[in-house]
Structure 1
Amino acid sequence: MNEKPEAIVFFDLDGTLFNSQIDILPSSIEAIKKLKQNNITPMIATGRTPCEVINLMKRTQIDSIVGMNGQVVLYKGEKVFTNDIDKEVIARIYQYSKQKMNIPLSFYNDELMRVSAHSQPAEKFYHYLKQPVPPVDDQIYLKEPIQMLLLLCEEGELHYRDVFPELTFIRNTPYCVDVFNHGGSKGYGIAQLLQTKGFSDVPTYAFGDGMNDFEMFLTVDHPIAMGNAVDTLKGKAEYITDTNNNDGIAKALQKFGLI
């Protein structure tokens, strides 16, 4: 059984723990070290899948993650929760995307990423992330559990919401839309973690900047918005710190007495 931490701090990545150059500030690296020294668990809470951020987790020594907007939760190497999408639903959205919308997909679980086709939208999106385009396998969902899909498009997602009410669609970058089971969110994943591990009495903090952090802000005890956050999220924050380019993480952790 894991020892209870003094607190848990959840960090969104893009626009939060990452600066504008998709890198982590030295002040944030140092702050994470201090959190761990104080028996406070740092966790990544991101739309990305765990296999995308392995190098980041090694670099920061963070071993816990709420991935794919809460569709998988790993705590100190233990898989605590997954929220798999039904294979029949995936087959329907794939056919709809291919035949009606001409929008390629990505298929994600906590261990792998695949694309339905090597396309220009895929190249544009993964170049934006500074990642190679994943391997092509449009049948991967028949062989492996899938917890999140991406619509690789710059527009067109509004057509999906009426056709697939069992799914949630959130635009996370200019080039893709995250797709997962309706009701899933970073907040839902965090709630599953706290319940499963018996951490309901552990103080929780979260840093974020975008709308996929909204439910997370409603779930934790202390929501902290970055200075560069969207206004709607700032409206739900207990505290607004400096920007992701100006030591906002370290400054807020110091303010709350966590480091």
Structure 2
Amino acid sequence: MAEKSIVFFDIDGTLLTEEKKLPASTREAIFTLKEQGHEVAIATGRAPFMFEDIRNELEINTFVSYNGQFVVLNGEVIYTNPLNISSLEKLTEEALQKKHPIVFMDHEDMKANVPEHSYIRESIDTLKIEQFPTHDPDYYKDRDLYQTLLFCPEGEERYYESKYQDFDFIRWHPVSVDLLPKGGSKAKGIEKIVEKLGIPKEKQYAFGDGLNDIEMLRSISNSVAMGNGKEEVKVAAKYVTKSVEDDGILHGLRMLELL
């Protein structure tokens, strides 16, 4: 097992282009990695139901979803880290007063606490997924939630950050913020997988481009930022590859001498 490497890939801006396309070179590179006996996994902020098609296409059964809050190894759930519901209820009440909608998310579905809102449509549409949140303001009750989306203009999340200490807030869109359990991250989720597999640090690799990838890239010994990534992401990584549209995954894997 020690000879085997594991490579974690973010999805948006890493596996997929801005148009949500999977480059042919990326697909070929991932299957070559697997043929060589390496473990290939996904590490994303998306919900499991938001990337089932990618998992099926790439035949990947190990993933870190919800930025580390719902972790699956070879098709089996091995770790979950749900949100504090009492704190979420208070935040939701206050957000409603400020006309900031919320989308509640568990491992199977997502529900909005308002019937409709332009911010929800604007941000979710960029993911180019089939699912869209329907209305259920009580969806947070009697179930575990692993992430919530707070919809507000840039900067307005700072009020919630100062008041709600049970959560971390990570912006992923100009009008939307991921709301996570405090201290939760892709890095924490990855730890659960590599511990189970017994793969040492020097055999761990990760590719990412966004703000929610920073802790992952800092914690993984062989980390790679995409050329299209934000500057603070590139600073966090050990290496920088080309952009996703310019065969960045293939280039990065060759740079790491995994291919």
Mark yes or no: TM-score above 0.5: yes
Contact residue 25 and residue 247 of structure 2 kept, 8 A: yes
Structure 1 counterpart of 2:221 = 221
**How well do the aligned residues superpose, as a CA RMSD in angstroms?**
1.6
Query: Do the aligned partners of 1:8 and 1:205 also contact (CA within 8 Å) in 2?
Result: yes
For residues 95-110 of structure 1, the aligned pairs below 5 Å read 95-99=93-97, 101-110=98-107
Structure 2 partner of 1:243: 243
TM-superposition CA deviations, 1:170-193 (whole Å, max 9, x none): 101223100011111111111222
**For residues 110 and 21 of structure 1, what CA distance do their matches in structure 2 show?**
25
Q: Does 1:62 align with 2:50?
A: no
Offset at residue 215 of structure 1 (A) = 0.5
Provide closer, same or farther for how the CA distance between residues 36 and 49 of structure 1 changes in structure 2, counting only shifts above 3 A.
same
- How far apart are residue 133 of structure 1 and its match? 2.2
- Whole-angstrom distance in 2 between the partners of 1:55 and 1:200: 30
* 1:125/1:91 CA distance change after superposition, 3 Å: same
CA contact (8 A) 2:49 2:108 kept: yes
1:147 aligned partner, one-letter code: Y
Q: How do residues 134-213 of structure 1 correspond to structure 2 at under 5 angstroms?
A: 134-155=133-154, 156-200=156-200, 203-213=203-213
Q: CA deviation at 1:5?
A: 7.5
2:118 to 109, 117, 120: 120
Map of 2:38 onto structure 1: 40
The list of structure 1 runs, each at least 4 consecutive aligned residues, that deviate by more than 6 angstroms after superposition, is none
Q: Distance in 2 between matches of 1:54 and 1:5?
A: 29
SS at match of 1:199: coil
Name which of 77, 84, 87 aligns with 1:86. Answer: 84
User: 2:226, 2:240 within 8 Å by CA — same for their partners in 1?
Assistant: yes
8 A contact 2:234–2:240 mirrored in 1: yes
Deviations 1:102-121 (A, max 9, x none): 11111112222111122222
Contact persistence 1:5–1:39 (CA under 8 A): no
Tell me the equivalent position of 2:4.
6
Partner Cα distance (1:57, 1:5) in 2: 25
1:255 corresponds in structure 2 to 255
* Structure 1: 5+ residue stretches without partners: none
Secondary structure of 2:148's counterpart equals strand
Identical residues among aligned pairs (%): 32
Unaligned runs of 5+ in 2: none
Aligned residues: 256
